[in-house]
């Protein structure tokens, strides 16, 4: 399962892609959930940057979603062409199985979350007022509610998988004290 010389951890490019995705996804969730809470959270920024039009937040949200999708493609390509390091010696057989399922789930979600989000923009019956323009989806094949349920469902699964992923790392870092986190920093 590993590549030559990879017993100590992930390489620089894999680490850079991992942490870039962490930051991009964190910003995306804050931005996405702030859109619905526009009046409370982002009104000042919409006034400053978008002339007070709250629907303008959909534009950077969609652009960041497309960027995350492109990064996911790059990350998957890098992993497939460069392999994985050897398993950390402190992981039990059960933890290795859990880590494998969680990692695969997170990879699927790196694609599913942006795809369902972009589907909301391009394939539902929604309309947004973006400044002087009105945006209507070019291919309205989905009901807006169906698209939103799909998008939010991917978020729920993501947060469950992320909790297990971070929990496993925290357990090894602070309970087992085998410095598992050092493999990715």
Between CA 170 and CA 50 the distance in angstroms is: 41
Under DSSP, is residue 142 helix (H, G, I), strand (E, B) or coil?
strand
Q: Which CATH number fits domain 12-183: 1.10.10, 1.20.950, 1.10.1760, 3.10.310?
A: 1.20.950
Under DSSP, is residue 124 helix (H, G, I), strand (E, B) or coil?
strand
Under DSSP, is residue 176 helix (H, G, I), strand (E, B) or coil?
coil
* Tokens matching residue 185: 């920093």
What tens digit of pLDDT does each residue of 83-142 get? Answer: 999 999 999 999 999 999 999 999 999 999 999 999 988 898 888 777 667 878 888 898
Pair 61, 32: CB distance under 8 Å: yes
What tens digit of pLDDT does each residue of 48-65 get? Answer: 666 666 667 788 899 999
Pair 57, 34: CB distance under 8 Å: yes
Per-residue DSSP letter, 138: S
Q: Among 127, 129, 149, which Cα is nearest to 140's?
A: 127
**With 60 as the cut, is the pLDDT of residue 7 above it?**
no
What are the boundaries of each domain within the chain? 12-183
Task: Report pTM.
Answer: 0.84
């Amino acid at each position: 399962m590993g590549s030559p010389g990879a017993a100590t951890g992930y390489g620089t490019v894999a680490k850079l892609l991992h942490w870039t995705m962490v930051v991009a996804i964190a910003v995306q969730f804050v931005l996405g959930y702030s859109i619905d809470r526009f009046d409370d959270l982002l009104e000042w920024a919409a006034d400053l940057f978008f002339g007070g039009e709250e629907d303008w937040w959909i534009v950077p949200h969609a652009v960041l979603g497309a960027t995350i999708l492109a990064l996911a493609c790059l990350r998957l390509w890098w992993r497939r062409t460069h392999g994985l390091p050897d398993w950390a010696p402190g992981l039990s057989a059960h933890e290795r199985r859990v880590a494998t399922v969680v990692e695969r789930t997170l990879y699927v979600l790196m694609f599913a979350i942006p795809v369902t989000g972009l589907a909301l923009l391009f394939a539902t019956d929604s309309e947004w007022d973006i400044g002087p323009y009105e945006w209507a989806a070019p291919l309205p094949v989905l009901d807006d509610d169906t698209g939103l349920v799909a998008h939010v469902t991917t978020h729920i699964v993501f947060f469950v998988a992320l909790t297990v992923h971070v929990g496993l790392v925290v357990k090894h870092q602070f309970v087992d004290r085998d410095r598992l986190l050092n493999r990715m920093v």
